[in-house]
Amino acid sequence: MSIILITLAVSVLLAFVLGLGLGFFREKFRVDRDPIIDRIREVLPGANCGACGYPGCDAYAEAVGLEETTPDRCTVGGSAVARSLADILGIVVSAEDKVAVLMCQGTRERAPEKGRYVGIRTCAAAKLSAGGTKLCAWGCYGFGDCERVCPFDAIHVGPDGIPHVDYDKCTGCGKCIAACPQKILSLIPRNRVGAIALCSNRNVIKAMVRKTCAVGCFKCEICVRNCPEKAIRMEDGLPVVDYALCTSCNTCVEKCPTNVFKLYERDVFPLGTAAGKAAPPAEKEPAEVT
């Protein structure tokens, strides 16, 4: 019994001495935390989504405070948080809020499949194992890789077989862009104004484009020739808009025989409405052009 009591007393004494030693060395070698880091952390939204490239808001706050990264990488907080962080750091930052946009309109009805796919139902697996499921080599497969990685529940594959973005929830984190093996999701500024070509089919053979997608761009260049501002050019098989010149005149939208063009502020991300909740205008059927 005495041995047990002695052992217990020695253990308590040893723990007490070690505790005092740890406390002493903690105070002796303590590195004071920069108060700027705490101010930065208070501004961050606390989503801990990792979209900034750091494990969470604490890690990002420390990296910004130590000037290891820029203050404009918090997509949840957007430009407002970026400006607040820049004010704390005493710098000027240029930031704009972005959202994910699907650069494809190839629904099941518009873009036929090559056949019945029986493999792992992910876009990445379908591309790797079967070279894709659509006749259009650039189209959306619709298995929802983008939906699964979205930390904000902002993107879902609809009954038509393509993903739809809820712009009330989308923060432009870019995770869906990284997950898409087809690379047909793009980050677009929320405040963009002008025409946008929603097609990724780069096939230069007109007949093949018409065969693979009813709303594919078959390089007729009607948009290029008819744009009054000369704001559209063909680049790598697709029309590209110069937004410094585009005036949203709607000419390309009206002239495009396959409805590739949309007005971003009206048809994609309607300004002055509940984001992502406005019903798009009724679409005309793609014209039969030979």
Is the model's pLDDT at 278 over the cut of 60?
no
d(CA 128, CA 45): 38
Domain total in the chain:
2
Q: Who has greater pLDDT, 269 or 213?
A: 213
pLDDT at position 32, please?
Answer: 62
pLDDT at position 16, please?
Answer: 80
pLDDT at position 27, please?
Answer: 67
Is residue 288 in a domain? no
Average pLDDT over residues 136-163: 96
Task: Indicate whether 150 and 188 sit together in one domain.
Answer: yes
pLDDT at position 273, please?
Answer: 42
Give the pairing of strands 238-241 and 185-189.
unpaired
Range of the domain at 249: 98-268
**pLDDT digit string, tens, across residues 167-212:** 999 999 999 999 999 999 999 999 999 999 999 999 988 889 989 9
Q: How far from each other are the two terminal CA atoms of the chain, in whole angstroms?
A: 102
pLDDT at position 12, please?
Answer: 79
Task: Indicate whether 149 and 40 sit together in one domain.
Answer: no
Task: Indicate whether 196 and 219 sit together in one domain.
Answer: yes
Task: Indicate whether 220 and 264 sit together in one domain.
Answer: yes
Is residue 109 in a domain? yes
Is residue 4 in a domain? no
Is residue 242 in a domain? yes
Task: Indicate whether 80 and 113 sit together in one domain.
Answer: no
- Chain CA centroid to CA 268, Å: 15
Closest CA to 258 of 209, 208, 193: 209
